[in-house]
């Protein structure tokens, strides 16, 4: 496959590392985006959600401290969730793997194989 696959990656996350390893073992060329260092902007995030076919709330990591302190128990609309994810990229589920017009969340890591 010559098409580059983009991975929104957190190197500290074992699932994210496993997904990258799985893709590399398949000979896939990866573009790694360390989204905590280079967070996606609002438009990029909205585009990712469209490719995932999910609302923003569906990719929120509810185990994070910032979620528990600032968002748990609150009802936010799509725009408010997008703002929260842009403000606190640690809340974005990982890894998000993108190939062309499709994307998947690599949990479990084997889900990334659906893009190949």
| R_g of the chain computed on alpha carbons | 14
Give the residue numbers marked as catalytic: 13
Q: Is 96 helix (H, G, I), strand (E, B) or coil?
A: strand
The values of phi and psi at residue 72, to 5°, are: -60, 130
Nearest to 103 by CA among 91, 90, 85, 115: 115
Q: What angle do CA 104, 110, 112 make, to 5 degrees?
A: 30
Confirm if 23 and 71 have CB atoms less than 8 A apart: no
């Amino acid at each position: 496959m010559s098409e580059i696959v983009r991975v929104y990656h957190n190197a500290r996350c074992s699932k994210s590392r496993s997904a990258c390893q799985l893709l590399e073992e398949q000979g896939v060329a990866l573009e790694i985006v360390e989204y905590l260092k280079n967070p996606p902007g609002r438009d990029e995030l909205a585009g990712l959600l469209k490719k995932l076919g999910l609302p923003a709330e569906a990719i929120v990591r509810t185990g994070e401290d910032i979620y528990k302190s600032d968002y748990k128990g609150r009802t936010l609309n799509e725009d408010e969730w997008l703002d929260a994810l842009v403000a606190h990229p640690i809340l974005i589920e990982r890894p998000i793997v993108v190939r062309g017009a499709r994307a998947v969340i690599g949990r479990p890591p084997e889900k990334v194989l659906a893009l190949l």
